[in-house]
Chain A
Amino acid sequence: MTAETRAKIEALFPSYPAKRGALLPAIYLVQEEQGYISPEQARELAELFELQPVEVWEVLTFYNMFYTEPQGRHHVYFCTNLPCSLRGARSMLKAVEARLGVHAGETTADGRITLGHEECLGSCGTAPVMRVDGEYHENLELADVLRVLDGLR
């Protein structure tokens, strides 16, 4: 991790009664550097937090929003839980899989998009929803989805 990331992490410590409380925010900060956490970065985090590497690794692999493998330049996730499925989310995801030539959970060969499905995103009143690079796109029609995807470089 860079010295800048390290300084940002150390600035979080006083917010928590124990340093380890800052681990999830710290992982987010390190992940911003290259889009995932490498084993080397996990070791650096362990050292900074005075933990065993496995204690960092088990946290990394417990949560869906942390990545331990290189990711596409853009993340596209569809909610496939019941309220979205009732409004056609899975049909939409299938169309997107066909368009991109990958299945949910995979990255396009050009490294442009990592496609995935997620559990309920709390957008049931505006279903179906997709999350593109962290931002919600709601009340989706397939044409909107394809337009957004085509705009991702």
Chain B
Amino acid sequence: MIVEPYTKSYLSEHYGDDGFYTLAGYEARGGFAGLKKALALEPAAVIEQVKSSGLRGRGGAGFGTGLKWSFMPKGDERPKVLVCNADESEPGSFKDRLIMERGPFQIIEGLLIAAWATGAVKSFVYIRGEYALPIRRMREAVKQAYAKGYLGRDAFKKKGFVHDIVVHSGAGAYICGEETGLLESLEGKKGQPRKKPPFPAQHGAFGLPTTVNNVETFAHAPYIMDRGVEWFRGFGTEKSPGTTLFGVSGHVAKPGLFELPLGTPLRQVIEMAGGVRDKRALKAVIPGGMSMPVLPASQTDVGMAEELLAARGTHLGTGGIMVMDETTCMVRVACVVSYFFRDESCGQCTQCREGTGWINKICERIEAGRGTPNDMRLLDSIPGMMEGQTICAFADAAAWPIQGLLKHFRGDFEAHLDQKKCPYPASFEL
């Protein structure tokens, strides 16, 4: 896989280097310096440092990492657990895969820092089942860490510090990326999300106090501990510090991953990916993975940080940027998007189970030239009936892209109705 490192990047600095995914190679390149510094501090001071760094979760929701760690109950006799969410399944996102393949010890070091900070004795790394190579790399890295005494009793040679890591494979279900769906799945059940409260910090994996963070979130922690808050805040925006691995896909000349500071202009990221292919005009960009509303070309002069994208009615999500050129039929896009959510709805909430199916059927009818004005009224109303009405955010994720497509590309839908066929013969095939 391709990664084009930003000149001042830190996460991906050594990803071109095969040694970096071995324990010896990781240590030779400065690995575990952050953990050493963390272990010299009181756990509360580690949480404080992560809090003041402003690190926000990189799994899509952007919640403050230090704050999340502080939710782990104190004075609770139950063993505490960490879960690394490596169920990366958001269409357009492929960064966590690269981190696991090229920097598995960054994740292990991040988990150990979080374990020290929260008192967790065990981590589960839940990796989507299709990720065969990341699973092998993580298992091998954990094995090497045990062999060197970095895991288990007196972990990292620190007396009394106990931490075990279990690498667990998922089995093909997008919903297991939702944190409580993941916890159900980890317990050997269907991955249907739980009602909250109770939140995972009180009642998480196997009923134990649990903190769930994304792969990339854990991978940033060692650098924050080693190089400090001020250094970390030197990247990105005030509200969204640090870098992230932006994934650029679709109609660009050189798709790939680019580690850049949060807030980097979207158009600059697209230019780094070679710009729109074949010198065609840009039509639309989904900036943060499939669940996020689309931006028309006219609104792509925006920085890639949550607070900046939110002002445009969309979100940073996982930073998966999908680029569509002028040939693209946005109704076909709606068909692909709505099929995905229909297929992946876990089925427990009526609004989501029924709504995703209805939206998909209507989009396919419109694309086939059989749409009616009433279909447009239904498309306008169904997403609003799903949004905010269900146990988890999946229904929102299914509703938002459709709302975005209707808001910005209504003309594409209406042209299908008027012409009774798809007006984009050169668009990608369905």
Which residues on the A side are within 8 Å of B188 (C-beta)?
20-24, 49, 59
Closest residue of chain A to B346, judged by CB? A62
Residue pair A18, B94 in contact (C-beta under 8 Å): no
Residue pair B171, A58 in contact (C-beta under 8 Å): no
| Alpha-carbon separation in the docked complex, A81 to B96 (Å) | 18
| Alpha-carbon separation in the docked complex, A58 to B188 (Å) | 11
Selected from A24, A94, A125, the residue in CB contact (under 8 A) with B94 is: A125
CB interface residues, A 71-117, toward B, < 8 Å: 80-83, 85-88, 90-91, 94
Please tell me if B156 contacts chain A, counting CB pairs below 8 Å: no
| Least CB distance, B260 to chain A, in whole angstroms | 15
Interface size on B, residues (CB 8 A): 61
Selected from A28, A63, A82, the residue in CB contact (under 8 A) with B333 is: A82
Please tell me if B71 contacts chain A, counting CB pairs below 8 Å: no
| Least CB distance, B23 to chain A, in whole angstroms | 21
CB interface residues, B 123-154, toward A, < 8 Å: 128-133
Residue pair B190, A24 in contact (C-beta under 8 Å): no
Residue pair A124, B170 in contact (C-beta under 8 Å): no
| Alpha-carbon separation in the docked complex, A59 to B93 (Å) | 26
Residue pair B131, A86 in contact (C-beta under 8 Å): no
User: Contact mask A15-30 → B, CB, 8 Å, 1/0?
Assistant: 1111011111101100
Please tell me if A70 contacts chain B, counting CB pairs below 8 Å: no
Which residues on the A side are within 8 Å of B174 (C-beta)?
119
Selected from B90, B185, B248, the residue in CB contact (under 8 A) with A120 is: B90
Residue pair A90, B428 in contact (C-beta under 8 Å): yes
Please tell me if B336 contacts chain A, counting CB pairs below 8 Å: yes
User: Contact mask B313-330 → A, CB, 8 Å, 1/0?
Assistant: 000000010101000100
Selected from A49, A62, A119, the residue in CB contact (under 8 A) with B91 is: A119
Of B42-50, B251-259, B351-359, the one contacting chain A is B251-259
Please tell me if B73 contacts chain A, counting CB pairs below 8 Å: no
Closest residue of chain B to A12, judged by CB? B166
Which residues on the A side are within 8 Å of B193 (C-beta)?
none
Residue pair B133, A125 in contact (C-beta under 8 Å): no
| Least CB distance, A68 to chain B, in whole angstroms | 13
Residue pair A122, B255 in contact (C-beta under 8 Å): no
User: Contact mask B83-94 → A, CB, 8 Å, 1/0?
Assistant: 000001111111
| Alpha-carbon separation in the docked complex, A121 to B328 (Å) | 22
Closest residue of chain A to B343, judged by CB? A119
Which residues on the B side are within 8 Å of A120 (C-beta)?
89-93, 290, 340
CB interface residues, B 330-369, toward A, < 8 Å: 333, 336-337, 340, 343-344, 346
Please tell me if B191 contacts chain A, counting CB pairs below 8 Å: yes
Interface centre among B173, B255, B324, B337 (most CB of A within 10 A): B255
Closest residue of chain B to A126, judged by CB? B1
Which residues on the B side are within 8 Å of A126 (C-beta)?
1-2, 255
Which residues on the A side are within 8 Å of B429 (C-beta)?
85, 88, 90-91, 94
Which residues on the B side are within 8 Å of A86 (C-beta)?
249-251, 322, 324, 328, 428
Please tell me if A40 contacts chain B, counting CB pairs below 8 Å: no
Q: How large is the interface on A (under 10, 10 to 19, 20 to 34, 35 or more residues)?
A: 35 or more
User: Contact mask B292-324 → A, CB, 8 Å, 1/0?
Assistant: 000000000000000000000000000010101
Question: Taking A17-B206, A83-B91 as contacts, is the C-beta distance between A124 and B322 under 8 angstroms?
Answer: yes
Please tell me if B225 contacts chain A, counting CB pairs below 8 Å: no
User: Contact mask B195-214 → A, CB, 8 Å, 1/0?
Assistant: 00000000001101000000
User: Contact mask B56-83 → A, CB, 8 Å, 1/0?
Assistant: 0000000000000000000000010100
Please tell me if A118 contacts chain B, counting CB pairs below 8 Å: yes
Residue pair A127, B171 in contact (C-beta under 8 Å): no
| Alpha-carbon separation in the docked complex, A134 to B134 (Å) | 12
Which residues on the B side are within 8 Å of A121 (C-beta)?
130
Which residues on the B side are within 8 Å of A17 (C-beta)?
79, 81, 205-206, 208
| Least CB distance, B382 to chain A, in whole angstroms | 20
Which residues on the B side are within 8 Å of A118 (C-beta)?
130, 172
Please tell me if A43 contacts chain B, counting CB pairs below 8 Å: no
Residue pair B169, A25 in contact (C-beta under 8 Å): yes
Residue pair A131, B168 in contact (C-beta under 8 Å): no
| Least CB distance, B248 to chain A, in whole angstroms | 7
Which residues on the B side are within 8 Å of A3 (C-beta)?
none
Closest residue of chain A to B190, judged by CB? A62
| Least CB distance, B320 to chain A, in whole angstroms | 7
| Residues of chain B at the chain A interface (Cβ within 8 Å) | 1-2, 79, 81, 88-94, 96-97, 128-133, 166, 168-174, 185-191, 205-206, 208, 247-251, 255-257, 286, 290, 320, 322, 324, 328, 333, 336-337, 340, 343-344, 346, 428-430
Give me 22 A-to-B residue pairs in the complex whose CB atoms sit less than 8 angstroms apart, sorted by A's number. A21-B186, A23-B189, A24-B170, A24-B185, A49-B188, A65-B172, A66-B171, A82-B290, A82-B337, A87-B251, A90-B429, A94-B429, A118-B130, A120-B93, A123-B1, A124-B247, A124-B250, A125-B255, A127-B255, A134-B132, A136-B132, A136-B133
| Residues of chain A at the chain B interface (Cβ within 8 Å) | 15-18, 20-25, 27-28, 49, 58-59, 62-66, 80-83, 85-88, 90-91, 94, 118-127, 131, 134-136, 138
